[in-house]
Structure 1
Amino acid sequence: MLRRGSRGVVVLLAAIVTGCGAGVEGTPVAAPAGGLDSILLSDVDLDDVLGSKGIRSEPDTGEMTDELAAGTVPPGCAGTVRTAEANVYRDAGTTAALTRMAQGPGDGDSVAQSVVVVGSPQQAQHLLELAKLSWSACSGTPIRQGGATPSTWNLEPVDVRDGIVSQSSTNSVHGRCQHAMGAAAARVVEALVCGANVRNQGAAVVAAMIANADSA
């Protein structure tokens, strides 16, 4: 059962998600033939940004995540606990996506970084605005995540700096986490960093991804 006040969160998020369907006008941008991997940070880059040592990435994947199918509740908060969440991008004119997962040795930081190509630069900015609203609406509401490793997230207030939307949290399995999102032209970049001492690392990874995209 959702705690008191959660029904209001669900209603508000339903309104926000419904607003996604209207779309945003802008000049369509074709998906690049390749090169999304150059936007994602390498292991060496991640170690440099995170101040870690020996982080290792898994093979990249072009699959979107689907927290609703995994049973995450409240449903409207599914996009706060994963990157490249299909339900966030469903009306964004998405043409390509790439995600890279990485893990530090032992109990080191875990990192999910994603780049998603959407219909236009205006649509990318629209998704940032929606993230501010939906992540803020979910702040203070426990998020129960389904899937192979169920956990509970407690989300903190949203922070917006230098065009990057971020939200810190505590997770019952992964400890401290930070989810961040930014945009570079018609590409939305996201990072979710979890670990014992995570503070602003998610935003730092996103900033580095934006720099890679801008120089591509």
Structure 2
Amino acid sequence: MKGDDKMERFDGYLFSKLHLIGSKSEGPTYFLQQFDYKEYEVIKHAHLWEEDPELHKFLARKVTIEGAMSLNGIVYKNIMKYKPTGVKGEKRLVVDLKLGTDILWVNKMPPGPQPSQPMDLTLMVKWPYRSIWEGLCPSTQMYDFFIEHEGKTIWTWSQGKVFAQVITPVHIPGGDFHEFPEVWKVNPEDIVSEGTYTARAIFIASGQEVSKDFEVKMAH
């Protein structure tokens, strides 16, 4: 980025689209959907057919980007987890994450392939007011789940799933929690060590995230 470019702040939801030319992939193109629902391409720091590792780790998250607007899109210098501007009195959803267990026992005996083990994950969303919360998602995907260990994501619920790329209204009536349950089908072969793992969920329409730790132990 040129030194005389004016640095700006861009807040929104980061997502990507994969373009195909014949049988060859052009690689992901990254977009920022701002809170007024305008979309801008975020120019990646990588070859056309490659992922941008810095952008890719913030996919499906609410982010703050520092950079400059060009004719082709946002030329980013820094990207980080969304930093609110500190508006006082802003009403927000209440989000929570419920896990099926605090200790996941993984059976790796006898040696060899083992059947998958289910672990329940439930994203809980509540609007604690006598009204209806309204938001938008950039696709039909409303939420996502992740399992992380030692700073690496080892499972993403949405991976391999297809969602229509259409703006999707989301309405949460006031009152009780609304639950979004999914299941992580744990492949014992993917668990290489015991320790503390993190389950993380995001409610895409509001950009809010919630996470909880759990322990993984090997059953001998």
Bucket of the pairwise TM-score, normalised by the shorter protein: under 0.3
TM-score (norm 1): 0.27
TM-score (norm 2): 0.27
Name the one with the larger helix percent: 1
Higher Rg of the two aligned structures? 2
Name the one with the larger strand percent: 2
